[in-house]
Amino acid sequence: MRAVVQRVSTAGVAVEGSEIARIGAGLCVLVAMAPTDGPVQVAWMADRVVGLRVFADGDGKMNRSIVESGGSLLLVSQFTLYGDVSRGRRPSFTRSACAEEAEPLFASLVADLRRRLPDRVQTGVFGADMQVSLVNDGPVTLIVDSPSAPGAEA
């Protein structure tokens, strides 16, 4: 599983011109699933996202998690995070899980995060053509890759 985590002052998602989700200060998380991902990677990613210490403490140092800061999460599925452009100019997405595999994993990640952060998690629409807007705070942007499943190809 791969995530691009951005600390934001605000973020939102629109589908067909209508805003469907908006958060204030918190994290915007773009996430993609690999074919080898499963419940272990979902739990790992949820734990990592809520535990990232990217919010300022009283001394202005990045030392507080989203749990401690009281911020919100906006999760957006984005299979293109596994796009491979090492050959040619058209991206290959063979390292991304197909929609039938990825959708239940994304739903599981959302459910896990909602258990950890009740009433603080918003999402896009899986598989939809979305317009994501955000104001990156800092800017702080991290790429987070979960450990591979045992026996999975590297």
Q: How do the domains of the chain map onto residue ranges?
A: 2-143
- Rounded CA separation 58/94 (Å): 45
Catalytic residue set: 78-80
Phi-psi region of 17 (alpha: psi -120 to 50; beta: other; left: phi over 0): left
Please tell me whether the overall predicted TM-score, pTM, comes out greater than 0.75 for this model: yes
pLDDT band at 57 (very low <50, low <70, confident <90, very high): very high
Candidate CATH numbers 3.50.80.10, 3.40.50.880, 3.40.50.300, 3.80.10.10; the one for domain 2-143: 3.50.80.10
State pLDDT tens for residues 68-102: 999 999 999 999 999 999 998 999 999 999 999 99
Given a contact cutoff of 8 angstroms between Cβ atoms, the answer to whether 55 and 68 are in contact is yes
How many residues are given for the chain? 154
Distance CA 135, CA 46 (A): 23
Cβ neighbours of 146 (radius 10 Å): 20
